[in-house]
Amino acid sequence: MTTRGGCLCGAVRFAASGESTHPTLCHCESCRRSTGAPAVAWTTFARGGFRFTAGTPAEHRSSPGVARTFCSRCGSALTYARDELPDEIDVIVAALDEPEGHPPADETWCDERLAWMDRVGTLPRFPGARGEKVTKPKR
């Protein structure tokens, strides 16, 4: 099985062979700041089966022992790797071509979770842009 993905502009593409593990929704401040999102969905692949197939991502050492990659052209965040876990690489689920197949199994760094995230499931929902017909949240 091969999972593929890439950045928003398409300059950087990747492929990962094998099953993913540890799908999570991370709430840590570092992930939030590096992506500009209130939480980030990740899944883990064996580093030996992961490769960039087009382009070369930029790398940022966001904290000691941590390397994050992103597209230097469009800014899309792509991966997270810890030096202490040399056999694993975390990939942002939203960067996958088929993200629906990798739903989070848990949430991490909940002590840093934004308090207003509790309201997300109760907000009005629009099928497209705001101003279109509102749908009620499913509960």
**Domain containing residue 67: CATH number:** 2.170.150.70
Angle at 101 between CA 133 and CA 65, to 5 degrees: 110
Which pLDDT tens digit goes with each residue over 17-34?
A: 999 999 999 999 999 999
Question: At residue 137, does pLDDT exceed 90?
Answer: no
Question: At residue 125, does pLDDT exceed 90?
Answer: no
What is the domain extent for residue 103?
2-122
First to last CA, the chain: 34
Residue 47 lies in a domain: yes
Cβ count within 10 A of residue 85: 12
β-strands 66-70, 58-63 pairing = antiparallel
Residue 101 lies in a domain: yes
Quote the CA–CA distance of 69 and 104 in Å, as a whole number. 21
Q: How confident is the model at residue 103 (pLDDT cuts 50, 70, 90)?
A: very high
Mean pLDDT of 84-112: 97
Residue 69 lies in a domain: yes
Name the strand (E) or helix (H) holding 26: strand 21-26
pTM over 0.85? The answer is yes
Residue 118 lies in a domain: yes
Total structural domains within the chain: 1
> Which pLDDT value is given to residue 138?
62
In this predicted structure, which of 34-38, 75-79, 126-130 has the lowest mean pLDDT? 126-130
Write b or e for each residue in 102-139: b if 16 or more Cβ atoms lie within 10 A of its Cβ, otherwise e: bebeeebbeeebeeeeeeeeeeeeeeeeeeeeeeeeee
Question: At residue 139, does pLDDT exceed 70?
Answer: no
Angle at 76 between CA 59 and CA 84, to 5 degrees: 40
Residue 37 lies in a domain: yes
Which pLDDT tens digit goes with each residue over 40-91?
A: 999 999 999 999 999 999 999 988 999 999 999 999 999 999 999 999 999 9
Question: If you search the block for the tokens 């017909």, which residue do you land on?
Answer: 133
Residue 31 lies in a domain: yes
Residue 136 lies in a domain: no
Quote the CA–CA distance of 66 and 79 in Å, as a whole number. 10
> Which pLDDT value is given to residue 131?
77
Residue 90 lies in a domain: yes
